[in-house]
Amino acid sequence: MTKQSPAKTKIPWHELKRIVGEANILWRDEDLMLYEYDGLSSHAMPDAVVFPSTTKEVSEIVKLAAQHGIPVIARGAGTGLSGGAVVTEGGIVVAFSRMKKILEIDLKNQRARVQPGVVNLDLSLAVASYGYYYVPDPSSQKACTLGGNVAENSGGPHTLAYGVTTNHVLGLEMVLPDGSVIHTGAAYWDRPGYDLTGLIVGSEGTLGIVTEITVRLCRKPEAVKTLLAIYNQCADATRTVAAITARGITPAALEMMDGFTLRAVEEATHAGYPMDSAAVLLIEVEGLREAVEEEAEQIEAVCHENHARQVRSAQNDEERDLLWRGRKNAFGALGRISPSYYVQDGVIPRTRLPEMMDYMEEVAKKYGLLFGNIFHAGDGNLHPLLMYDNRDPEQCRKVTRAASEIIAKCVELGGSITGEHGVGLEKSELMPLLFSEDDIEMMQRIKAVFNPQGTFNPGKLLPTGKMCGELRVQIGVAAGA
């Protein structure tokens, strides 16, 4: 029999059933096992999973948990890549798969109000026929939810021009650890008072549980042009990235894949990527038709100046969609050629890309690892994927060491330990690489104001000192396994 955690023995099952109904609670081990991991890591089973339908139900669940000192973890689709939705010490998982309504669409004011379980892409599809869309587009946008995007401050390929989730969230409804409900921001800009919305976005469920989100919608651009620049040398592609922005051009997206990655992508998706190249840049410009044509010509010239052997332009929406399908399915494509892979999420200044690419190759050789690179080159957000066999303990140790060295190098070059995947469980002990003791103490004091008992998503975002600076991830079940 599975040993019960202390939290499980304290759960008032009859009260939970009263709040959400027996059909909306999971408690059997065979069901709970499905909630012990996210897109990256596995840690422990929750003691219960509940599926609320309203903010009132979330509030009552939280009040009940507070009375009994039970941890509470909010969960969306479980696609996160930093362990943000996994359980560390038992408790109740509040799953939002049944709070997935688009509550209001206000096209005149370019706003939408949604529940946290709404899938990212579904919001754009709901307003597409009116000529609008929701900009942030993580690679997992067909599955990830807006509540999870808010928690991790998710990005995507179009971050370069439009920013990440926090730039598109106007207001939030949130349940605090005592069960009270607060509202931050508004459906208009510059509400007076402290910017609590900005504080909550990216707080990874450690300050409260978001139950409603007001987001900004954008008009679809008049024209879009997608270019594929092909290179025989990876270094030429990285130099092109800095050269484009040095010209004062800001593409909507500027993505890079190395030869190893694009060959895997092409074999899986047949998107039209060249199998014999060392790297490609996927570049997109959008806006008024005349400006798009002019910028595309300038970008093509910069690519050729930096030794691109060819620059292709998608001739229609079908070709454009195929190129992006290849890019967004890249993680899955690499999963076809390796038992497991560990994806990283460091950030560096884009001018340091050539140096960082050389360093990552040195690290891979040092540990005898294969690795692929696919990243948001325009804003320096790297996603190296380290290949390994999770059944081999020595390979697991090597890939963990290699990943930590890559992240440390990102910080050394003036970057960050994460760009869009969040800190979560994986990188909480690496926060001192980036922040001073005073910085971290201030964050802990802010957390204590909202979450004084530490019962909301414990063990995430801020260091606990329990892991001696090691990456807190059970690497044997990393993404792609």
pLDDT computed for residue 4 by the predictor: 56
* Residue tagged 């594929």 (tokens): 228
Question: Residue 5 above 70 pLDDT?
Answer: no
Half-sphere exposure of 9 (CA within 13 A, CB side): 5
Question: Residue 344 above 70 pLDDT?
Answer: yes
Domains and CATH numbers, the chain: 6-95 (3.30.43.10), 102-219 (3.30.465.10), 223-333 (3.30.70.2190)
**Is-contact 258 190, C-beta < 8 A?**
no
- If we measure between CA atoms, which residue out of 281, 283, 279, 316 comes closest to residue 297? 283
Task: Count the Cβ atoms, other than its own, within 10 Å of residue 126.
Answer: 18
pLDDT computed for residue 8 by the predictor: 67
User: If pLDDT is split at 50, 70 and 90, which confidence band does 473 have?
Assistant: very low
Q: Give me the percent of the chain exceeding a pLDDT of 70.
A: 95
d(CA 32, CA 90): 11
User: If pLDDT is split at 50, 70 and 90, which confidence band does 2 have?
Assistant: very low
Which tops the pLDDT comparison, 241 or 2? 241
DSSP summary character for residue 145: B
d(CA 179, CA 59): 5
Specify the amino acid at residue 159: T
**Helix/strand/coil percent split, the chain, to 5:** 40, 20, 40
Question: Residue 352 above 90 pLDDT?
Answer: yes
Average pLDDT over residues 307-321: 96
- If we measure between CA atoms, which residue out of 146, 252, 161, 157 comes closest to residue 201? 146
DSSP summary character for residue 3: P
d(CA 378, CA 375): 9
Query: For the stretch 49-83, what's the b/e string if a residue is b when 16 or more beta carbons lie within 10 angstroms of its beta carbon?
Result: bbbbbebebbbbbbbbbbeeebbbbbbbbbbbbbb
Token code pair at residue 380: 């320096």
pLDDT computed for residue 214 by the predictor: 97
Specify the amino acid at residue 453: Q
Question: Residue 331 above 90 pLDDT?
Answer: no
**Is-contact 213 165, C-beta < 8 A?**
no
User: If pLDDT is split at 50, 70 and 90, which confidence band does 481 have?
Assistant: very low
Residues near 282 by beta carbon (within 8 Å), at least 6 away in sequence? 157, 226, 227, 228, 253, 254, 255, 256, 257, 323, 324, 327
pLDDT computed for residue 475 by the predictor: 41
Question: Residue 458 above 50 pLDDT?
Answer: yes
Task: Count the Cβ atoms, other than its own, within 10 Å of residue 121.
Answer: 17
- If we measure between CA atoms, which residue out of 135, 100, 130, 137 comes closest to residue 115? 100
**Is-contact 232 309, C-beta < 8 A?**
yes
- If we measure between CA atoms, which residue out of 36, 73, 59, 61 comes closest to residue 148? 73
Which tops the pLDDT comparison, 481 or 35? 35
pLDDT digits (tens, 9 = 90+) for 143-164: 999 999 999 999 999 999 999 9
DSSP summary character for residue 81: S
C-alpha distances in angstroms, 216 versus 83, 100, 162, 189, 362?
28, 18, 12, 10, 43
Choice among 38-42, 89-93, 305-309 with the minimum mean pLDDT: 38-42
How far, in whole angstroms, is CA 217 from its chain's centroid?
20
Question: Residue 14 above 70 pLDDT?
Answer: yes
Task: Count the Cβ atoms, other than its own, within 10 Å of residue 325.
Answer: 14
pLDDT computed for residue 227 by the predictor: 98
**Is-contact 232 136, C-beta < 8 A?**
no
pLDDT computed for residue 472 by the predictor: 41
pLDDT computed for residue 191 by the predictor: 80
Average pLDDT over residues 291-304: 97
d(CA 415, CA 420): 13
pLDDT computed for residue 166 by the predictor: 97
Question: Residue 181 above 50 pLDDT?
Answer: yes
Query: For the stretch 334-370, what's the b/e string if a residue is b when 16 or more beta carbons lie within 10 angstroms of its beta carbon?
Result: bbebbebbbbbbbbbebbbbbebbebbeebbeebebe
Half-sphere exposure of 148 (CA within 13 A, CB side): 33
